[in-house]
Amino acid sequence: MNIRKIKTKSLNEQVRDSLYEYIRSMDLNKNNQLPSEDILAEQLGVSITTVRNALNTLSQENLIFRKQGKGTFVNKEVLAIKIQLNSAPEFGQLIEESGYDSEVEVVSHSIKPAGEELAEKLEISPEDKVVRVEKIFYADGKPAIYCIDSYPEKILLEPLTDGDYEKPVFQMLLEKGKRKVLRDTADVFTSITSEDEHLKRAFKADRPKALLTCHSVNYDQDNRAILQVQEYYDTDLIKFSILRKKDIHY
């Protein structure tokens, strides 16, 4: 299948990206406070609600923090971290934030019964059909992320088109199933390309290569398990850091 550049973004994502670029242009050694929400809304030409949603996203990513009665401030230390392991952005966005041009290739898609293991994770019966989509995400033309998305066919309100498989899965589930992914639980470990032909082929690996692996189950606004994602990262291209909050008692 053809490789397609990732371009489609919602208004909230566009505003979030604009605010992120604005933050990166600030001289944080002099001032790390953002303008008020109404000023940002006026400058961006959007509603205050849209600005607030984008700021909430940046707050969840720990890029900003709020002081009651004082305003919104940039977290300078977190800004120095390119990608946080404890956040889960869309893969194309993740690649672009790592400093690369992003492209995606749909390797395959199919619909078949879930089976015992996947059914347990998605809280469905083994006979229920699931949509399975394999994709490779490229960073400047190099394979950076290989993923397998699996979700129950029955949550979709209308049939999928070929174009739907190319969309970010979170966007597609919202458009076709009115399901918004809000959180996930994930197991993180390593995989070796030589141990799996799919990985070897996806990453064009002629010698064994270690990959950061994340298997997650994603939950929607009703706290229903609706998506399993198997993610494999080439850490030569995508490097993660983690921000850990301390809970120390003396």
User: 11-79: which CATH topology?
Assistant: Arc Repressor Mutant, subunit A (1.10.10)
Closest by CA position to 232, among listed 184, 193, 182: 193
Identify the pLDDT of residue 164: 94
Q: Is the pLDDT of residue 3 over 90?
A: no
* Top CATH class, 91-233: alpha beta
CB 50, CB 42: distance < 8 Å = no
Strand-pairing partners, residue 214, are 188, 231
CB of 89 within 8 A of CB of 95? Answer: no
Distance between CA atoms of 181 and 173, rounded to whole angstroms? Answer: 8
> Given this model, what pLDDT does residue 12 score?
82
Query: Percent of the chain beyond pLDDT 90?
Result: 59
Give the least confident one: 47-51, 67-71, 121-125: 67-71
Point out which residues pair with 5 in neighbouring strands.
Answer: 103
Average pLDDT over every residue of 157-179: 93
Mean pLDDT within 17-27: 87
Cα–Cα distance, 237 to 118 (Å, whole number)? 30
Q: Return the domain boundaries, the chain.
A: 11-79, 91-233
pLDDT of residue 248: 64
pLDDT in tens, 66-113: 888 889 998 876 665 555 555 556 888 889 888 899 999 999 999 999
